[in-house]
Amino acid sequence: MPKIPEKQDFERMIKASFTPYRFSISDRALMLLFFSPRNLSRLVGKRRMRWWFSTLAIVLLLTNTIDTNAQKGPFRLSLEGHYGFMIPHRPVLRNIVKGNSFGMAVAVEWHTSGLKRWHHLYRSPAWGVEFSYADLGNPDVLGEQVTLLSTIRLPLGKSERMRHHILAGGGLGYNSIIWDMNDNLKGVTIGSRINAALSLGYFIDQSVSDQLEVYGGLRITHLSNGAVRLPNLGTNNLSATVGVRFNRRPKPESKDVVFLAELPRQGRLFTSVSTGVKENLPPGGPTFFVHSVSLSYEHRRNWKTGFFIRTDLFLNNAVRPLMQREGTYTGRNSDVLQHGVGLGYAKYYGRLRFDVMMGYYTFDRFRGNGKIYHRFGFRYKATERIEAWLGLKTHFARADHPEVGIIYRMW
């Protein structure tokens, strides 16, 4: 039977792991032994052990990659820990937020090449992939979360030794426990296991050596399904973060690329179609399709920003049963139509751009959502005239439905 490591053995292993590329196979075996079922059950309980083992396996796999490829590839590995709390953004959540949240994350990232204009405009950002685990402090009701995100790190400072940056990420999240009428009536945060995940953080970096840097900051991670499956109050986990980044590489050398100095003033006319699905209250009912057609005039102010005005026409089948319930349904096709106009702001990252828009319903027979709506999302420029759209329509902080679509530039 293997010997259980003593405290000093574990401390020796941790110290050795912070020496660049000294994390040996024997140390990994010692870590696995320390986190054996016998010891781990004493620390976190049997219920959470499966999450620890899954996360630990990914961390060990990536540290092994660093050992064998650190001197070859331009990627960088980040390991970080999180400690914070879930924000009770609705009164009903105050009774189920019992304790502090904690977790860990591992990420791999690469510097942009410097061959494109937006690389220079955003001071050589880095993009990457991040896997994270979080315990929300109430495992019986809120459960644990695992996220897989695509991230971009945007530098803010010019100093090479002491830097700060914004990290933004989006992807998928998995919730171990969801709302259930019989087993988890209090867990009203999320009604689906697979959700959209968004994360935003501010960090300060400090270089330790050419191969290592430490960083710390604050980040908030949001999980929800966009009202595809109710309930969908969502979770907002705010946490303080500390981490280390291995295999620190210098930014790519400046390329001899000549860009046009000024953007010619340009206005463009776009039309788009999109579709989405949603569920009405109470939870457990059918899902409904929501289709939209839009026309927008867009003015690109400079290489990074732009503005647009848009008119939207929605075919919202989800309002029909709601109007029948309140006695306002007339049976006409216009009952499910909604029309609105709005103003928006665009942020450009090469072929990718982020849009945010506030709209006002000029026609809407269903009054339950108010007069104001919002649309957020990403557009990707596939060709000179065709773009793909992935977004979310909301009424202030309440999601209405996610949407996917195609955008066509008319002129």
Cα separation values, 123 from 20, 120, 326, 371, Å: 27, 5, 54, 40
152 and 59 assigned to the same domain: no
Confidence tier at 31 by pLDDT (50, 70, 90): very low
Q: Residue 65: in which H helix or E strand, if any?
A: helix 46-69
Distance, in Å, from the CA atom of 351 to the CA atom of 380, rounded to the nearest integer, reads 6
CA atoms within 13 A on the CB side of 36: 11
Confidence tier at 109 by pLDDT (50, 70, 90): very high
Residue 330 corresponds to which amino acid? T
13 and 34 assigned to the same domain: yes
Q: What is the largest CA-CA distance in the chain?
A: 76
78 and 201 assigned to the same domain: yes
Residue of 148, 150, 245, 235 lying closest to 204 (CA atoms)? 245
Confidence tier at 25 by pLDDT (50, 70, 90): very low
Average pLDDT of the segment spanning 98-105: 93
Residue 260 included in any domain: no
81 and 38 assigned to the same domain: no
Tell me the percentage of the chain whose pLDDT exceeds 70: 77
Residue 252 included in any domain: no
Per DSSP, 247 falls in state S
180 and 240 assigned to the same domain: yes
pLDDT single digits (tens) 123-159: 889 999 999 999 999 988 999 999 999 999 999 877 7
pLDDT in the model for residue 115: 83
- Torsion angle, alpha carbons of 372, 274, 335, 341, to 10: 40
60-74, 184-198, 236-250, 293-307: least confidently modelled range: 60-74
pLDDT in the model for residue 337: 96
Cα separation values, 60 from 63, 286, 374, Å: 5, 43, 43
pLDDT in the model for residue 216: 96
Total tally of structural domains belonging to the chain? 3
29 and 136 assigned to the same domain: no
Q: Mean pLDDT highest for which of 73-77, 111-115, 165-169?
A: 165-169
pLDDT in the model for residue 16: 44
CATH number reported for the structural domain that contains residue 157 in this entry: 2.40.160.20
pLDDT in the model for residue 249: 56
224 and 288 assigned to the same domain: no
Distance, in Å, from the CA atom of 71 to the CA atom of 246, rounded to the nearest integer, reads 11
Domain boundary residue, one of 11, 34, 68? 68
Cα separation values, 169 from 77, 172, 243, Å: 16, 10, 17
pLDDT single digits (tens) 238-289: 999 999 998 755 555 555 666 666 676 689 999 999 999 999 988 888 999 9
Token reading at 65 = 């990659």
pLDDT in the model for residue 2: 44
Token reading at 1 = 């039977």
CATH number reported for the structural domain that contains residue 401 in this entry: 2.40.160
Structural domain including 197 reads: 74-246
What are the residues facing 165 on neighbouring strands?
155, 203
43 and 184 assigned to the same domain: no
- Strand ranges (E), 5-96: 76-86
Residue 187 included in any domain: yes
Distance, in Å, from the CA atom of 94 to the CA atom of 87, rounded to the nearest integer, reads 9
Upstream peptide bond of 282 is cis (omega within 30 degrees of 0): yes
